[in-house]
Chains A and B, each alone.
Chain A
Amino acid sequence: VTRLRVQPAVAYIISQALTLGLELAFLVIPGNAVFLTVYGAGNLPFVYLAVAGLGAVASFGITELQSRLGLFQLAIGSTLIVAVLTAVTWVLLAIAGAQLASAGALILFALQIQLGFVFIGAQVGRAFDLQELKRVFSWIVAAFVIGFMLGGYFGARLSDAAGTAVHLLALSAGLALLIALQMAGASRHIPVPAQEPPHPRDTETAKPPSLRQSLAVPLIGAVFVYQILSAMVTQLVEYLLYDRAAARYPVEEDLARFLGQYTAVLNLVDLIVLVAFGGLLMSRYGLRYGLSVNPILVTGLLLAAVVVAAVAGPAHVAFFVIMAVARITDITTTDAAGRTSINATFKALPTRQRLSAQVGVEAAGVPIALGLTAVTILAVNALPGTGITNVAVVTLVLCLVWCWMTWVVYRHYRSAVVTMARRRLLDGAQIDLAEPTTRGTLLDLLRSDDPQDVKISLSLLDADPEVDAAVRAAAQSPSLDVQRAVARRLRSVDPSLAFRVAGNLMRSDSSGHAADGLRLLGSLPPQENGGEIEAFLTHADLAVRSAAAGALLRSGRGSSGLADLIDGAERSADPEERVFAARAIAEAGRTPSLDVLEALLADADARVRGEGDAAVAALNDGQRIALLDRLQGRRVALRALRACRSNASPEFCAKLAERLSDPREEGREMVRLLGAAGWRATEATGATLDRLIDSEAARIATAAKWLDAVATGDPALAPATQRLRRALGQEAAQAGRHMIDLLGLVYDRQLMARVGRVLDGTTAGDAGISIESLDLVLAPHHRATVRRALTSAFRKDQAERSGTARAARSLSAVLGALAQDCRWAAHPDWLLACVLDLMRVAGVKEATDPRVVALGPISAELLNLRQAPAPASGDQG
């Protein structure tokens, strides 16, 4: 559907760009031909001032109107106004003979080029996503350049044929009308974006920074100055060229012919450079080339022009030719490299700052540059001496400043890239590693003396072929911190060098260095240095000792005594020793004995248990599965499963999925683990999952049945009754959540997670809608079961119903029956405890019946039938 809608939109937008090129060529040729012939280039600065002022007004007007009018209303309206004004200009020039109207044509040209691209850009942004936009935009630029080139060529021919260029304005007005029609056509194929109301908090906290705030950022400030200098030089070169052209072609028809042909050649060269070299050079040399090629080439040409002007005078043909070449060079390098590079520099800024900076720099930069250019020309022309030579000299000086600004922008860009690399984990910035300058900056970071920078660089450039050489160089650094930062990568790059670095680190006085040295050594192929590592097993620092034991275990260099050492540590009464055992296993990524690990997970000391979790997380898949298979204790098994959530490989998930039918809570934890790892149900597991979904539905139904049965109006029994009813309600809700987890393995996990959150947190009405919406997603065989079960599990009126329902049977009968029927629950011990408690409070004599109590081994403890420890007075531990 999207493609069908997009194709006509592409055609309409590209045709607009082509027509815009033609329209602008037919506007600028007669405008320049008449103005330069009648008033001379010396008066062009007044046109620039008018363009600067009116351009700023137009920008402001468009910004204000776009919130009130739709895009196409605004675009068509503005284009029709340009068409009418162009026609009026033609009438004034051709019929009334008002030559001053040629200035109007030049002003209209400057405004229409700005407006035309704003409206085309807006249409593109609305019609395409970012990927399509990149692809389509090059076609649009090419279409515009072709239009301009054809306009130049035919403009010259038509001027020759008509004997004047003025009538091109009539064609330009007609082409503006055509653009308005093309916009109307495009509006039928480009969707209107849905307006999302701003979040109230967004309006307060997400307010974009002002231009002044943006310019205080060094990179933005530098780019702003660079852009102003670039625009000023462009305008001054154009001025110099037009001045010389007007001098060489004093007759309007000759000037129009030259301008037409020159426009055609300029755009042809622009097109060729853009298509043939632009992307190639940018991808090869990157932003540094893109920023500098324009100022350097133009500076070189200006230098040559100034020398010619000084030696032979500005009237010499060589000066004219150099300026003609300079303008072509300026335009082509701006299009092929400058514009792209400036956009790329903004990518080194946080997104919010980037957007406002781009808009601000573009909107304010051009009018400021035009105004400054006009003032500069007027000031220079007011100086005594040859005006045009002075303008060329001033332009050269500006070019030199522009070249210096290139270096400033480049330097600030590199700083911004480094900042972005350091902050990327905080703000999720995407770094374009294909950009040569960015990549070069990060490679330089790898050669830094700062180990933190080295780490950042390595984490980003992991797959870069040039990293290996830089890592070797860093390994020779006198700084042990830098050696440590590259230790991991060095393992694969240069094992012999890695041995040397490991030795350096191990001999360090710092425990952190020594531990990392041992880790590195343990990951390298075994050599005759097992004894050296064993010496660290008695190190005073726990981290070093564990790393040494881990290194020996991992590399297989450890003697049989090592397993005994870890086993002994696990049995030690000292929790520190037990932590050592757990850390040694975590360091090695494998355990010499599953018994040891099981004992660590069940340790009385919570810190040891935590280290045991880390050891499980580090185990290889085979040992993880073996461990899970042997664990029987619920708490220990759940701990191990939670620890396995990190680094759950697809192979591990596949093996775990074979155990999904485990009816215990461990089975539910497995489902959560698989969901978190992004595992999707296979054909082989489909039947098991269906069975589990049905089983959860049955659990919900059973909980609902007992909820309806357990009720009493006796206030004395209310707390215990409420507790039992809450236990039943929580059983149902937990079964519902587990059902959603199971469905997440079959369907879209994110969607199911959202449904779960809605069911947990909303009103009965929303919960109902959420459950019904599942019908759109679920397969027919799941629909009925799931809807009924979830509706019951997340019944929002359960609490209100408590105590008001009338029991059909006597309370003692109900409780007696429920005590015998707790095994279906996920937490049967707690449920039984609640039943027995209510029986005890209600005076049901079976409450203390050993046969009933024996139904749940923990329930006796829960009920404190075995006495809980007495309170310790004033004991603060």
Chain B
Amino acid sequence: MLIIERVSALNKAALFAGVPDHALAEIAQIVVETSFEAGETIIREGDLESWMFILVEGTARVDVGGVEVSRLEAGGSLGELALLDPAPRAATVTALSPSLLFRIDHATFREVMEEQPSVVSALVVMLTRMLRATPRKFPVAG
């Protein structure tokens, strides 16, 4: 994939919505393109890994405890929590169709966050949405 095409793909990811294209061009040079066939597991619940993915092409299913909780389309991200808090994966994600993903590892993503505050903002929004969607084990306002 051309670097300029990778920028277009990253442009569609909610996580990088506020990042200017020239900065995405730099991120595009450090992401690792990874492809999965339909039915292949992208991440497995309980595994200890320190990277995240941006889904560029294809669709994927997210299962928690064997129960499907959501589906991901192109532009979605998965495994962000592991970048912030190195803990076992919270869900299993399986490719539903031949999929292309960008992989970003922990240290690289930290640098991106330092250089691009808008990524941090997007991440906070994403985490807030996750909290809202979580059953109320603890009080969350709003």
**A interface residues (Cβ-Cβ under 8 A, vs B):** 205, 605-607, 609-610, 635, 638, 642, 719, 723, 726-727, 730, 734, 826-827, 829-831, 833-834, 837, 861-864, 868-877
Contact = CB atoms under 8 A, between A and B. Distances in A.
A868 B3 contact: yes
Interface in B40-72: 40, 42, 49, 51
14 contacts: A606-B107, A610-B110, A638-B115, A719-B8, A727-B21, A730-B20, A831-B22, A833-B25, A861-B3, A862-B25, A863-B3, A871-B34, A872-B33, A877-B34
Given A607-B107, A719-B8, A726-B21, A871 B35 contact: yes
A872 B32 contact: yes
A862 B1 contact: no
A760 to B, nearest CB: 9
Nearest to B108: A606
A659 B134 CA distance: 51
Contact of B3 (A607, A730, A827, A864): A864
B85 interface: no
B33 A877 contact: no
A830 B3 CA distance: 11
Nearest to B33: A871
Nearest to B109: A606
Contacts of B32: 872, 875, 877
B141 A205 contact: yes
A406 B22 CA distance: 67
A874 B33 contact: no
Contact of A833 (B4, B42, B49): B4
A646 to B, nearest CB: 12
A600 B49 CA distance: 25
A719 B7 CA distance: 12
Contacts of A834: 4, 21
Nearest to B103: A877
Interface in B88-110: 100, 103, 105-108, 110
B56 to A, nearest CB: 10
A862 B4 contact: yes
Nearest to A724: B21
A642 B100 contact: no
Nearest to A864: B2
A837 B3 CA distance: 11
Interface residues of B, number: 35
Nearest to B28: A862
A831 B7 CA distance: 13
B4 A863 contact: yes
A864 B22 CA distance: 15
A538 to B, nearest CB: 27
B2 to A, nearest CB: 4
Nearest to B42: A876
A877 B51 contact: yes
Contacts of A205: 141
Contacts of A861: 3, 29
A873 B1 CA distance: 14
A873 B26 CA distance: 23
A868 B35 contact: no
Interface of B: 1-8, 20-22, 25-26, 29, 32-37, 40, 42, 49, 51, 100, 103, 105-108, 110-111, 114-115, 141
A872 B32 CA distance: 8
B36 A874 contact: yes
A730 B116 CA distance: 14
A827 B107 contact: no
A698 to B, nearest CB: 19
Contacts of B34: 871-872, 874-877
Nearest to A720: B4
A414 to B, nearest CB: 31
Given A606-B111, A610-B111, A872-B32, A862 B3 contact: yes
B54 to A, nearest CB: 14
Nearest to B26: A635
A642 B117 CA distance: 13
A871 B110 CA distance: 24
A863 B2 contact: yes
Contacts of B3: 833, 861-864, 868
The 8 closest A-B pairs by CB, nearest first: A606-B107, A827-B22, A830-B22, A864-B2, A871-B33, A730-B20, A862-B3, A871-B35
Contacts of A831: 22
Contacts of A606: 105-108, 110-111
B111 A609 contact: yes
Contacts of B37: 874
B100 to A, nearest CB: 7
A462 to B, nearest CB: 31
Contacts of B20: 730, 734
B3 to A, nearest CB: 5
A874 B25 contact: no
Contact of B4 (A726, A826, A864, A876): A864
B35 A830 contact: no
A738 to B, nearest CB: 13
A745 to B, nearest CB: 20
Contacts of A874: 34-37, 40
A73 to B, nearest CB: 38
Nearest to A609: B111
A864 B7 CA distance: 12
Contacts of A873: 35
B33 to A, nearest CB: 4
Name the residue among A635, A829, A861, A871 with the largest chain B CB count within 10 angstroms. Answer: A871
A717 to B, nearest CB: 14
A606 B105 CA distance: 9
Nearest to B107: A606
Given A642-B115, A868-B3, A723 B107 contact: no
Q: Which of B20, B105, B115 has the most CB of A within 10 A?
A: B20
A606 B50 CA distance: 13
Nearest to B111: A606
Given A872-B33, A874-B35, A730 B107 contact: no
A862 B49 CA distance: 30
Given A606-B107, A868-B1, 20 more contacts: A606-B106, A606-B110, A606-B111, A609-B111, A638-B115, A642-B115, A719-B8, A730-B20, A827-B22, A829-B22, A862-B25, A869-B33, A870-B33, A872-B33, A872-B35, A873-B35, A874-B40, A876-B42, A876-B103, A877-B103
A734 B20 CA distance: 9
B4 A837 contact: yes
A457 to B, nearest CB: 32
Given A872-B32, A877-B103, A830 B1 contact: no
Contacts of A862: 3-4, 25
A853 to B, nearest CB: 14
A875 B103 CA distance: 10
A243 B21 CA distance: 89
Contact of B107 (A605, A830, A871): A605
Nearest to B50: A877
Contact of B25 (A610, A830, A871, A877): A830
A452 B42 CA distance: 44
B21 A830 contact: yes
Contacts of B40: 874
B22 A727 contact: yes
Contacts of A876: 34, 42, 49, 103
Nearest to A865: B2
A834 B33 CA distance: 22
Nearest to B100: A871
Nearest to A638: B115
A519 to B, nearest CB: 26
B18 to A, nearest CB: 9
A606 B34 CA distance: 20
B112 to A, nearest CB: 10
A780 B8 CA distance: 43
B53 to A, nearest CB: 9
B52 to A, nearest CB: 11
Contacts of B21: 723, 726-727, 730, 830, 834
Contacts of A719: 8
